[in-house]
Structure 1
Amino acid sequence: MNRLAGIPAPRTIAVGHWPEPGDDVAAGPPSLPGFVASSFSPLAAVAADRCLKPPYSEGAVSEDAVGERTAIVLVTGSGDRVSADHVRLAVADGKRVGPLYFFQSVPNSVAGYIAARWGLRGPVVCLSPTTEAHVAGLDQAALLIADGDADQVLVVLVEQAADGDLAEAMLVSGGDPL
């Protein structure tokens, strides 16, 4: 059981991280088409890819109809700090803000990218918890599963920090092993 009374904790199917051994941390994660300057969205995408590739290979999850009932929960305490700082400074200086910054400043943007790439058609939830991110993400996944909104949930945790960017993705389920 998790912190939510009477709701079973989800079972982890697969996990992916940034960084992993061998990653060039100084260079950052691979760039992502349509996203500029910030590592936030590439962090989320690479962790999600690393999580979903083992159970689903390179193909979309939806090929076996699992994607129809797979939700995404994106969890970040601080959001896309680099993009937010860029927009704040541009506005303060009276400069034009490029349209891609408006697009990528919403965490749903990268969640939508991940959903399209992998064929995930379940609900998308973005959280900015004041409590421990793992707990908040897994609690939300447990609620989505318990309410019948999803059979699986891709929980993606992303943080940009001065001491290094981190991302973790966990594919969880409430049901029997796949």
Structure 2
Amino acid sequence: MSGSSSRPGGSARARWPETGDDDQPPGVAGFVFSPFAPVVVAVAERCLRRRYPTAEVPVGVRTGIVLVSASGDRVSAEHVRATVEAGARVGPLFFFQSVPNSVAGHVAARWGLRGPVVCLSPTGDPYADGVAEANLLRDDGDADEVLLILIEQAPDGPTEAVAVLLGGEGRQ
């Protein structure tokens, strides 16, 4: 994640964690057990607020979301695997949150974003793959700007994320 955080571009950027952040971001209703969704929401809202301090994206702006993660919600996946292996019942919220589109859609609904939501598992450089997808959405006319979110859950460390708002003044 550290390599992607130093990349140029974007009308706004944010990271999780940043100086002063607690170990865990605030919880998100409907998402349990894992920091994946709370980190996505925290970094997305931080980035969007830096571009739109009033917490409102102008009505005529179509903002898409591209969420990029090679591993997805690793913590939830490991919990489900262990629960099934133990012969226990998996809670219904895990089916909902196991798809990264659910948290990206949550961000879109909360902010009233009117662009497409795309989730990618990168095959190469995560930032380059995400920017390429964002450029396709913008070139096809589906979005004026794209909130690119890169997130990974390390098996032995904290969840890290970077968000960049691409679009507006020029091509990034």
**TM-score > 0.5 by shorter chain:** yes
Secondary structure of 1:17 counterpart:
strand
Runs of 4+ in 1 over 3 A off after TM superposition: 174-177
2:37 is matched with which residue? 41
Give the counterpart of 1:130 among 98, 123, 127. Answer: 123
Secondary structure of the 2:67 match is strand
Percent pairwise identity: 56
Give the structure 2 partner of residue 121 of structure 1. 114
Report the Cα offset of residue 93 of structure 1. 1.5
Q: Distance in 1 between matches of 2:56 and 2:168?
A: 21
Aligned AA (2:60): A
Residue 163 of structure 1 aligns with which residue?
Answer: 157
Q: Aligned partner of 1:172: which letter?
A: L
Structure 2 residue 171 is the aligned partner of structure 1 residue 173 = no
Is 1:145 equivalent to 2:135 in the alignment?
A: no
Q: Does residue 64 of structure 1 match 2:59?
A: yes
Gaps of 5+ in 1: 1-9
Aligned residue for 1:121, secondary structure, equals coil
In 2, the alpha carbon distance for the partners of 1:47 and 1:157 equals 10
What secondary structure sits across from 1:149 in the alignment?
coil
State which of 15, 18, 21 in structure 2 corresponds to 1:20.
18
With normalisation by structure 1, the TM-score equals 0.86
Distance change in 2, residues 1:29/1:79 (3 Å): same
2:124 & 2:157 partners in 1: Cα distance?
20
> 1:165 Cα deviation (Å)?
1.2
Matching of residue 75 in structure 1 with residue 68 in structure 2: yes
